[in-house]
Amino acid sequence: MDSATTNLTVDELNDTVLEIEDFCVDYGWGETAVRAVNNVNLSVRRSRVLGVAGESGSGKSTLVYAVTRLLRSPGVISGGSARLTYDDPTASDVKRRTVDLMAASGSELRAIRWSQVSIVLQSALNALNPVLRIGHEFDELLKTHRKDLKKEQRHARAVELLGLVGLNEDRLSRFPHELSGGQRQRIMIALALALDPQLVIMDEPTTALDVVTQREIVNELAQLRARFGFSMIFITHDLSLLVELADDIAVMYSGNVVEWAPAGDLYSAPRHPYTLGLLNSSPPLSGERHELVGIAGAPPDLSQPLSGCSFHNRCPFVLERCSRDVPPLRILDSSGRKAACWLHDDPTTVPVALRRVALATSPGEPAPGAPMTLAREEIR
């Protein structure tokens, strides 16, 4: 996979598949409502991968389900917009169409779903209907969206898709419980690609798998992306995994995007204390091993009103104003990277750990383990 972050033209930057603006999601209504996603602005560029990282309950999954209008009750989208831009294969004149997902009607959504935006869930065992054969899942999908295909053509397509993820066509006659976890997740990926979507959302697709299978699947995903060029939102709590796959990474904490940066920059030179904490709590991809350090404390209870930065009571570099004022997500330098942290307001308050120069590495080849070890020393 080549480096995706260098030399982008303005056109490329503006060529987005999904544009999320001021997005807010609540759980519940009225006074008991809990804000799970708070004023999130994100965009997914064409043929690029946006990684969304954060711990459980940070709102990363809620965000994508809300954006795709799949959020279930009691989740409520309480503000913001999301626009999907896609190439309409059926249109004769204007090929590229933009749809406001929040305003789309049921039938409009159904037409876009899976044909333009597909999803791979964490547990493929639960995502596949237990009483249906794998072949039925493919057939039903193709029957719904590609009405022009005949039965044999649908079968041929299913066989072709299974081939893409390295599975034999005899899997089509199996039931989900007869397959291994890795095979099931491969089938989900094959299903996700069935209609050549513009955007594939991966919601922790490798979390339920062992590390070896995880590695295989990540490699396959990278190859498939290089071949078909779909955009991807990859949600995970594993930052080191994201660095290999993602072009940009957004780090979420208690419903807010706290840092956004090109993947390599974020990995080698984090700017938000939470990102630093996340990096310190997972082993480096290469280089010297270091002692893993967790982030002290627990995420805030979202049902309690919180003043200031949501991370302030766990932050090792906390300033006085952090408990008072909410830091906005701001552009830090010419690379366009953003962080929501008061530390960067004044150059003198930036700790050494958050001041590192981004190493010119491409994703997949992170710098030797040194930065991680350094960061740990600095915290002490």
Partner 1 sequence: MRVLGRRLSLYVVTAWVAITVNFLLPHLMPGNPVQNLIGKVTGQITPQQVRSIELLFGVGLHQGLWSQYVGYWHQLFLGNLGVSITLSTPVSSVLASAVPWTVGLIGVSTILSFILGTFAGALLGWFRGSRLDSVIPVATFFQAAPYFFLGTVVLLLFGSDLHWFPVLGAYSQSVTPGWHWDFVFSLLRYGELPVITIVLSSVAGWMLGMRNMMITMIAEDFVLMAVAKGLPRRKVIAHAARNAVLPSVANLSLAIGLVVSGALLVELVFNYPGVGNLLLQAVLNEDYPLIQGIFLVITMTVLAANLLADVLYFILDPRTRTEAAV
For strands 199-203 and 248-253, give the pairing: unpaired
Pick between residue 72 and residue 150 the one whose CB is nearest to partner 1. Answer: 72
User: Measured from the CB of residue 146, what is the shortest distance to partner 1 in angstroms?
Assistant: 12
User: Measured from the CB of residue 140, what is the shortest distance to partner 1 in angstroms?
Assistant: 7
- What does the angle CA 209 – CA 214 – CA 218 come to, to the nearest 5 degrees? 140
Kindly state the greatest CA–CA separation across the chain.
68
User: Measured from the CB of residue 70, what is the shortest distance to partner 1 in angstroms?
Assistant: 6
- Nearest Cα neighbor of 65 from 32, 98, 40 is 40
- Tell me the three state secondary structure of residue 377: helix
Pick between residue 125 and residue 326 the one whose CB is nearest to partner 1. Answer: 125
Pick between residue 50 and residue 117 the one whose CB is nearest to partner 1. Answer: 117
Residue 352 DSSP code: G
User: Measured from the CB of residue 131, what is the shortest distance to partner 1 in angstroms?
Assistant: 6
Pick between residue 129 and residue 223 the one whose CB is nearest to partner 1. Answer: 129
Output Rg (C-alpha) for the chain, integer angstroms.
Answer: 21
- Nearest Cα neighbor of 164 from 226, 81, 252, 90 is 226
| Helix, strand, coil fractions of the chain, as percent rounded to 5 | 35, 20, 45
Number of H helices, E strands in the chain: 12, 12
User: Measured from the CB of residue 50, what is the shortest distance to partner 1 in angstroms?
Assistant: 18
Pick between residue 149 and residue 306 the one whose CB is nearest to partner 1. Answer: 149
Pick between residue 99 and residue 343 the one whose CB is nearest to partner 1. Answer: 99
User: Measured from the CB of residue 341, what is the shortest distance to partner 1 in angstroms?
Assistant: 35
Binding residues (CB under 8 A) for partner 1: these are: 68, 70, 72, 106, 109-115, 118-119, 121, 123, 126-133, 140-141, 144-145, 175, 177-178
Torsion over CA: 170, 176, 180, 185 (sign): positive
